């Protein structure tokens, strides 16, 4: 019979030594058995993950003024992906909040916004690219500044989707969570500084197996002359698919149809 010697260099295999419970800091009410993973993404960072149907993701602005730009693709068939024009047109909106769904170009709901303490998330502002970053903030490459480098949202997302076999031609319009952009009577965009307070939250429920990639680089319309992106906390857990009386399903007839179309894939 093998005996396990529990020492600092050889911890018990029951100890989750490779998984820091970040979620206890900003989502302490979650049932530990349902939590899949949690992470803290530094400002200017980027990451990607495959979220299974019936899972949820809580995004928390750990500092005021955060921005998280996210793109979404069907994990089953990545040619199907989030479609900003169809999502906005179908829901008669120019911003996202609780009740809205993020629709694919096949008319299916990839994800639904089930909780939101912010009230406005920008789907129109796009991504900070390397040219605009250099003009506004200057350049600080990794070779000289290591983790203090400046990285654009576009470059971060290209790195992440590249890990999943996608390329520059697959980069789509993101959702900029925690950011607000208004449009004046002449059609000009105006960024609203400091829109999201520290510990503002928004949650997504995934209606399909969905590949997400995201960046915490500054919003491209943020007028600040200083590159100071904010960190964001993430917690993912299993919650189950949308029930029949779900708020998002009942928010609009178009939403019910999009969630139903996603349900049909899993009969």
Calculate the alpha carbon distances from 34 to 15, 52, 59, 160 in Å.
17, 13, 17, 26
The predicted pLDDT at position 9 comes to 53
The residue ranges of every structural domain in the chain are 36-264
DSSP collapsed to 3 states, the chain = CCCCCCECCECCCCCCCCCCCCHHHHCCCCCHHHEEEEEEECCCCEEEEEECCCEEEEEEECCCCCCEEEEEEECCCCCCEECHHHHHHHHCCCCECCCCEEEECCCCEEEEEEEECCCCEECCCCCCCHHHHHHHHCCCCHHHHHHHCCCCHHHHHHHHHHCCCCCHHHCCCCEEECCCEEECCCCCEEECCCCCCCCCEEEEEECCCEEEEEECCCCCCCCCCCCCCCCEEEEEEECCCCCCCCHHHHHCHHHHHHHHHHHHCCC
Please list, in sequence order, all residues whose beta carbon lies within 8 angstroms of the beta carbon of residue 142, skipping any fewer than 6 positions away. Answer: 149
The pLDDT of residue 124 is 97
**One pLDDT digit (tens) per residue for the chain, 267 residues:** 333 344 445 544 444 445 799 999 999 999 999 999 999 999 999 999 999 999 999 999 999 999 999 999 999 999 999 999 999 999 999 999 999 999 999 999 999 999 999 999 999 999 999 999 999 999 988 788 888 789 999 999 999 999 999 999 999 999 999 999 999 999 999 999 999 999 999 999 999 999 999 999 999 999 999 999 999 999 999 999 999 999 999 999 999 999 999 999 999
Query: What is the predicted pLDDT for the residue at 147?
Result: 81
Q: Which residues contact 137 (CB under 8 A, 6 or more apart)?
A: 150, 225, 226, 227
Identify the pLDDT of residue 12.
46
Confidence at residue 18, expressed as pLDDT on a 0 to 100 scale: 57
């Amino acid at each position: 019979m093998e005996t396990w010697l529990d020492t600092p260099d050889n911890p018990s295999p029951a100890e989750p030594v490779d998984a820091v419970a970040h979620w206890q800091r900003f989502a302490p009410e979650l049932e530990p058995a349902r939590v899949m993973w949690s992470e803290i993404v530094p400002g200017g960072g980027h990451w990607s993950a495959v979220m299974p149907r019936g899972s949820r993701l809580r995004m928390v602005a750990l500092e005021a003024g955060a921005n998280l730009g996210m793109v979404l693709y069907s994990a089953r068939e990545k040619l199907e992906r989030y479609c900003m024009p169809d999502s906005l047109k179908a829901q008669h909106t120019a911003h996202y909040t609780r009740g809205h769904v993020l629709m694919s170009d096949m008319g299916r709901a990839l994800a639904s916004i089930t909780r939101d303490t912010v009230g406005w998330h920008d789907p129109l502002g796009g991504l900070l690219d390397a040219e605009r970053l250099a003009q506004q903030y200057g350049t600080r490459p990794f070779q000289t500044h290591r983790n203090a480098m400046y990285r654009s949202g576009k470059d971060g997302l290209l790195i992440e989707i590249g890990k999943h076999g996608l390329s520059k031609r697959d980069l789509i319009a993101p959702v900029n969570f925690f950011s607000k952009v208004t449009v004046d009577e002449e059609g000009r965009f105006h960024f609203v500084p400091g829109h999201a307070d520290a510990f503002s939250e928004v949650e997504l429920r995934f209606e399909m197996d969905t590949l997400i990639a995201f960046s915490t680089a500054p919003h491209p319309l943020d007028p600040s002359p200083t590159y100071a992106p904010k960190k964001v906390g993430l917690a993912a857990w299993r919650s189950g698919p949308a029930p029949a009386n779900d708020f998002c399903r009942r928010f609009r007839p178009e939403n019910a149809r999009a969630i139903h179309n996603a349900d049909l894939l899993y009969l």
